[in-house]
Structure 1
Amino acid sequence: MGKKKEVLLLSRRRMMVIAVLLFFILTADSKSFRNTKNDSGGQVLYPPVQLHMQGDHVVVDNGIFRITIASPEGIVTGIRYNGIDNILNDHKEKNDRGYWDVNWSDPSDVKDNLDKLTGDQLDVIANDENQVELSFKRYWTLSRKDSDVSLNVDKRFVVLRGSSGFYSYGIFERQKGWPDVDIYQGRIVFKLQDKLFRYMAVSDERQRVMPTFEDRERGEALDYPEAVLLTDPSNSLLKGEVDDKYQYSAEDKDNRVHGWICSDPPVGFWMITPSNEFRTAGPIKQDLTSHAGPVTLSMFFSTHYAGIDLRIKFRDGEPWKKVFGPVFIYLNSVTTEDNPISLWADAKEEMFQQTESWPYDFPHSSDYPRAHQRGLVTGRLLVGDVELARANSAFVGLAPPGEIGSWQQENKGYQFWTQTDDEGYFTIKNVRPGFYNLYAWVPGYIGDYMHHSVVNVLQGSRIRMGTLVYEPPRNGPTVWEIGVPDRTAAEFYVPEPNPTLMNQLYASQRTEAFRQYGLWDRYTDLYPDGDLVYTVGVSNYETDWFFAHVNRNVGNKTYLPTTWTIFFDLEDVTIGNYTIRLALASANAAEVQVHINNSKDMLPFFTTGLIGRDNAIARHGIHGLYWLYSINVLHSQLRAGRNVMYLTQTRGLGPFRGVMYDYIRLEGPSRSQK
């Protein structure tokens, strides 16, 4: 949609709001309205926000929409907007429509518990004509040990005057001495009217008409519960497709707005996440967005695409406090003459506005610092590899102090990330006061950077880091390489899916082809008589290197390990140590063993050992957590002429055990060794 059309759309929306509010303008004292300038400099008048206490629920109405929240539980049971009495699915129980929840377990018990964090008391934090902020609290006690996660929970909902949507944020707290606990997932969930909301949008390219929950129930279960083959959907155009919520995952850096569109009346429901500071594991952590149901989520933390390493683990009475959100639940509409799909463009525009407004100035919690209470960190990053170069589009971030690369498994504190410009300059804005390490990684180079000293960000501070130089791991010149060091397997060969197990959304999207179901079994189809063989200098990794090193399907639900072979030629062998750089983009209950020039040795030349629980192969990811190994090779183990490297993924027993390679490089001896 062009810029002019977007402006027209916004203007129409504002005109609709004004028309709806004429009644208020004619019947109320004009002084009771907040005056707000619109884009053309005129005044738009909005009615005051009103709070109605109704015993077992509260209603907040700002004249644009009305939200009903169960009290004191703090669960959203109804949203009235643009002629729809309840956008949420009122066929579901009241505690299953709009809620916060966490999954947790006692470390001494493997049982997985779901806690919807229902409140015990309601506090009205703000209640005036411009803002209502409600707090639904629950305080943990030892008597709750077996039923509730050991957290104090404060769930907040905020409605502002003139806002076509509401905000929600939560404050989780543990006190010193509380029992051990593991927390796996935390999120906010909204389940919408399935008869109304059938069109889902996650990005410009990833949007489509979706199946219903009933369509999935009538479908054929596949290799795991989330994946279903639609055999008798209500929309016949979806018959024969696979639906799986993980096909709509996104990296956090791209997961800023997603949601649903109703065509009659044309209404949109959107989850907008204006900041990633409260999310875990850095900017490329992947997580769920919206999926069939219809369901819309804001995932604050999870073990998805990372495994048990991303659980929040509390031991020995560790205290903790963290604010999650605010996120913005946005409602929009157009006239019946407009294309409902245009609501997506408006939702993106709203996302940009909400992002620009971060940090917000309206939350009343003292645990949420305003803009003037935050700091700023600037600097420039260069890369010193073969030669000094600008770190173009590098990811630079502040995360709690740790070790090199520890940010990708960090899950208790806040993280603040940005990307460098073409010259390597970076600015990290709106940093909460605290102690951080400065981390970075640069596409095109292996490894991670960490600044040698801790960065202490104070309220209102402006910290100049100066020019920083990242020296990636390197012992000698590159002899050969396979792939691109970018922490994903995206550059390798992603096969066409089984034609009976397709999601048509990705049929023509090659950059998203890895999201198709069942690609793990396509390896066996493509290599029926033997495993992958790659010849350096002859083969092309874009077509000849399968994107995931998986097991071979030999039938009867039996999977066997596979060995990939790399042939490479050396004109001569230089005296000194060679180095293999083995970078993995993903690992799931896998072990990679390396043999050189003899695959029959009982002991491997190198092994990763059993690593990884990210499950990215099954969940249609192109990466999970990043692993980097540096393997020393004596010159006596190589020979002039043809050499062979064998990569064996030794762990069979299932289709999802395997790795994705990011990049492999052989380095020659350094000049100092010659």
Structure 2
Amino acid sequence: MGVFKALAFAALAVAVPVEERAKKPQSFLKDLGNSTWVIGNEIWNVTQNRQYANKLFYKGGDRVGNAVGHYVSYNGAASDLNWTSAAVADSGNDWINVKFTANEGDFHWVIYDDLPGAYQYFVNHALPTLGEFRTLWRLDNTSFSRGRTNVKDGVLPPLEEYRSAINVQDETWQKADGTYLTKYDWSGNVRDMDFHGVYGDEVGSWYLNPGKDYFNGDQLKQELMVHRESQTGDAVQLNMIHGTHYQAISRDAFADGKVWGPWLWYLNDGSKDDAAKRAQEEEEAWPYKWFDDKEYQSRGKMQGKLVLSDGRPAAGAAVFLGDNNNSTISTLDQGKGYYYTTYADEDGKFDIHDIRTGTYALYAWGNGDSIADVTTNFTQNDVVIKPGKNTNLKELTWKVTDTKNRIFQIGAFDRKTDGFALSGPTPFEHARISKCPANLTYTMGKSQTSDWCFGQALNGTWNINFPVKTAPSDSKLTVSLAGFSQGTSATILLNGVQVGNITSASLVNSQDTYRGATRNGEWRLLEFAVAKEGLKMGENRIDVGVEKATQWRGWLWDSIVLERL
């Protein structure tokens, strides 16, 4: 037997004496003293120290190796949780619930005898106000050579590529051929994620997060999922249960007892098909009946119908159930509670099941297609969800502006760059924004939506030529940005006279354009008054002129609209 396999066998043997393996449950917690514990079952086992779980024995080998292992932390790597004790909090005839206690709260591993992996969840007791809270694995880069999200699947860049490249910003390097290495290419929309993880020819390690109601943010919430650690080469598998990678303001204080999870950390032989099958099974089983928590099990449902004030159904509208009476924090930045998302059908009808009981606000906004011209949002507070009950909101009227007053519109009003040049096919690519032109001319009636580029970040001017066919009147220019990173500013002129601006002085930074987001980041809405004297019969021109630019920093375009008041 080789040394590698012998060590794995020895650790398992220490953790599970022969006489105990015949008993139920066979899953185990073994206290080795000196703040070291071994947990697992006959399929896998983990050695947990005060801070890191630095050994993972599975399929005949230690799958952590020289990597860091498993840990829980907040606000980046600055604050890793330190475990002061471990105990079996509960058990059944084929499972145990192991609780690791830290000052900030309790981290649980629910281990079934026949499960390759474990269910995990965290119960808050004293976390500080924070933006980032995560669990993660940093694993052996030989066993786990590839990464998978729902938008990217492939070989993680070898460590040697980083060492021969030039660092150009945080976790981003330029290679000799001019292309880039960046961990942010391995990001994805949290609520669209089916499963993600790292894998190789022998093994796979996956996070399966059914339900997702404990994640912060709305449908457009994006997070980093996996990557290659640039200094050590570790294969990194992230579970960003409260994250800020593409946001402006997302800091929350949490109630004592707030629960994140449960989710499933799942091991297999590297098969994506098997991981997909298991992910579907977990979705069907959510919310988990086995999770013995009264507040978790107390759930109801909701339904309703959104109709625009002009009589149209709000077909395809994005629907978000979030914080009640919260007019100061965007839906993307909400994160202290539990959150639910869906989309209205073609008739404007929507429903959400398995909602934790409580009082929420219902938010909605346009998602393109037949309501791409809707520039307003919908909010209704005091939506009460009762245990076992259906909250029927019936028909809700969403006030919209009269499209007859629309002078022009470029782009669907949907908080995304969809339809613009270079907005696809993938939603993440470092420096793609620099491929958009410095100068651009868009002529209403001649140009197509695809002639407008997805982002603006270079010194230069984008012109919009448009006609006014009736007597000018007071109007409003609405500038909708799908994302904004500080460092680049623009002045907006109408027929040579300033009517507005896009500046770092008035907009808080979000980490989207310089981290390679191309579809969306933190949505911003700017509105500027246009006096009737500023318009003229016949041809008019709007200039969006960038006079100060910082590389890769600027804004993602959603829509620009001029309409009469």
Match of 2:122 in 1: 170
Which of residues 251, 261, 282 is equivalent to 1:311?
251
What is the alpha-carbon distance in structure 2 between the residues aligned to residue 426 and residue 624 of structure 1?
25
Which of residues 247, 263, 266 is equivalent to 1:327?
263
Which of residues 168, 179, 191 is equivalent to 1:223?
168
Offset of residue 256 of structure 1: 3.3
CA, structure 1 residues 361+436, in 2 after alignment: closer, same or farther (shift >3 Å)? same
Match of 1:661 in 2: 557
Instruction: Name the amino acid aligned to 2:154.
Output: R
CA, structure 1 residues 535+320, in 2 after alignment: closer, same or farther (shift >3 Å)? farther
What is the alpha-carbon distance in structure 2 between the residues aligned to residue 59 and residue 631 of structure 1?
62
Match of 2:32 in 1: 54
2:440 aligned with 1:548, yes or no?
A: no
Offset of residue 568 of structure 1: 0.9
2:287 aligned with 1:359, yes or no?
A: yes
What is the alpha-carbon distance in structure 1 between the residues aligned to residue 454 and residue 210 of structure 2?
33
Match of 2:143 in 1: 196
Match of 1:406 in 2: 330
Alignment of 1:122-133 (within 5 A): 122-133=86-97
CA, structure 1 residues 67+30, in 2 after alignment: closer, same or farther (shift >3 Å)? closer
Offset of residue 405 of structure 1: 7.1
Contact 1:475–1:579, Cα closer than 8 Å, also in 2: no
Instruction: Name the amino acid aligned to 1:536.
Output: M
Which of residues 275, 296, 309 is equivalent to 2:211?
275
2:447 aligned with 1:533, yes or no?
A: no
Per-residue CA shift, 1:345-373, capped at 9, x if unaligned?
A: 2211211111221222333455x512xx1
Instruction: Name the amino acid aligned to 2:184.
Output: Y
Instruction: Name the amino acid aligned to 2:428.
Output: R
Which of residues 602, 607, 620 is equivalent to 2:501?
607
2:476 aligned with 1:579, yes or no?
A: yes
Alignment of 1:451-466 (within 5 A): 451=380, 453-466=381-394
CA, structure 1 residues 164+473, in 2 after alignment: closer, same or farther (shift >3 Å)? farther
What is the alpha-carbon distance in structure 2 between the residues aligned to residue 30 and residue 657 of structure 1?
58
Match of 1:294 in 2: 235
Partner-residue secondary structure (3-state), 2:347:
coil
Contact 1:74–1:155, Cα closer than 8 Å, also in 2: no
Per-residue CA shift, 1:369-396, capped at 9, x if unaligned?
A: 12xx112111122233xx4222233221
Match of 1:207 in 2: 153
Instruction: Name the amino acid aligned to 1:162.
Output: D
Instruction: Name the amino acid aligned to 1:98.
Output: H
Contact 2:485–2:511, Cα closer than 8 Å, also in 1: yes
Instruction: Name the amino acid aligned to 1:310.
Output: S
Offset of residue 243 of structure 1: 2.0
What is the alpha-carbon distance in structure 2 between the residues aligned to residue 582 and residue 244 of structure 1?
30
CA, structure 1 residues 294+255, in 2 after alignment: closer, same or farther (shift >3 Å)? same
Partner-residue secondary structure (3-state), 2:477:
strand
Which of residues 70, 75, 87 is equivalent to 2:48?
70
Per-residue CA shift, 1:36-64, capped at 9, x if unaligned?
A: xxxxxxxxxxx84333333343333433x
Match of 2:15 in 1: none
Match of 2:8 in 1: none
CA, structure 1 residues 617+67, in 2 after alignment: closer, same or farther (shift >3 Å)? same
Identity rate of aligned residues, in percent? 22
Match of 2:85 in 1: 121
Instruction: Name the amino acid aligned to 2:182.
Output: D
Per-residue CA shift, 1:260-300, capped at 9, x if unaligned?
A: 2221x3x2211111122111121211110111231111101
2:493 aligned with 1:595, yes or no?
A: yes
Per-residue CA shift, 1:49-91, capped at 9, x if unaligned?
A: 333333343333433x2222425x36423322233x2222x21
Match of 1:567 in 2: 465
Contact 1:59–1:66, Cα closer than 8 Å, also in 2: no
Instruction: Name the amino acid aligned to 2:463.
Output: T
Match of 2:366 in 1: 442
What is the alpha-carbon distance in structure 2 between the residues aligned to residue 641 and residue 277 of structure 1?
52
Corresponding residue pairs, total: 532
Please, which moves more after superposition, 162-171 or 286-295? 162-171
Partner-residue secondary structure (3-state), 1:572:
coil
What is the alpha-carbon distance in structure 2 between the residues aligned to residue 30 and residue 406 of structure 1?
52
Contact 1:81–1:87, Cα closer than 8 Å, also in 2: yes
Instruction: Name the amino acid aligned to 1:190.
Output: W
Contact 2:433–2:454, Cα closer than 8 Å, also in 1: no
What is the alpha-carbon distance in structure 2 between the residues aligned to residue 80 and residue 230 of structure 1?
36
CA, structure 1 residues 582+629, in 2 after alignment: closer, same or farther (shift >3 Å)? same
Match of 2:395 in 1: 467
What is the alpha-carbon distance in structure 1 between the residues aligned to residue 283 and residue 160 of structure 2?
36
Per-residue CA shift, 1:167-208, capped at 9, x if unaligned?
A: 111122349xxxxx65231111101211121122212x5211
Partner-residue secondary structure (3-state), 1:389:
coil
CA, structure 1 residues 637+242, in 2 after alignment: closer, same or farther (shift >3 Å)? closer
Match of 2:301 in 1: 376
Instruction: Name the amino acid aligned to 2:448.
Output: N
What is the alpha-carbon distance in structure 2 between the residues aligned to residue 187 and residue 52 of structure 1?
25
What is the alpha-carbon distance in structure 2 between the residues aligned to residue 380 and residue 100 of structure 1?
41
Please report the RMSD computed on the Cα atoms of aligned residues, expressed in angstroms: 2.8
Per-residue CA shift, 1:534-562, capped at 9, x if unaligned?
A: 211122231x222111133xxxxxxxxx3
TM-score by length of 1: 0.73
Instruction: Name the amino acid aligned to 1:172.
Output: N
Offset of residue 216 of structure 1: 4.2
What is the alpha-carbon distance in structure 2 between the residues aligned to residue 442 and residue 520 of structure 1?
25
What is the alpha-carbon distance in structure 1 between the residues aligned to residue 105 and residue 23 of structure 2?
35
Contact 1:404–1:448, Cα closer than 8 Å, also in 2: no
Which of residues 96, 103, 108 is equivalent to 1:156?
108
Per-residue CA shift, 1:481-533, capped at 9, x if unaligned?
A: 111112111321118xxxxxxxxxxxxxx411x5333224334xx44xxx222
Match of 2:193 in 1: 255
- Unpaired runs of at least 5, structure 2: 1-17, 229-233
2:181 aligned with 1:243, yes or no?
A: yes
Instruction: Name the amino acid aligned to 1:606.
Output: G
Match of 1:102 in 2: 74
Match of 1:503 in 2: none
CA, structure 1 residues 546+133, in 2 after alignment: closer, same or farther (shift >3 Å)? same
2:538 aligned with 1:645, yes or no?
A: no
What is the alpha-carbon distance in structure 1 between the residues aligned to residue 138 and residue 208 of structure 2?
16
Partner-residue secondary structure (3-state), 1:662:
strand
Match of 1:489 in 2: 417
What is the alpha-carbon distance in structure 1 between the residues aligned to residue 435 and residue 21 of structure 2?
67
What is the alpha-carbon distance in structure 1 between the residues aligned to residue 130 and residue 394 of structure 2?
39
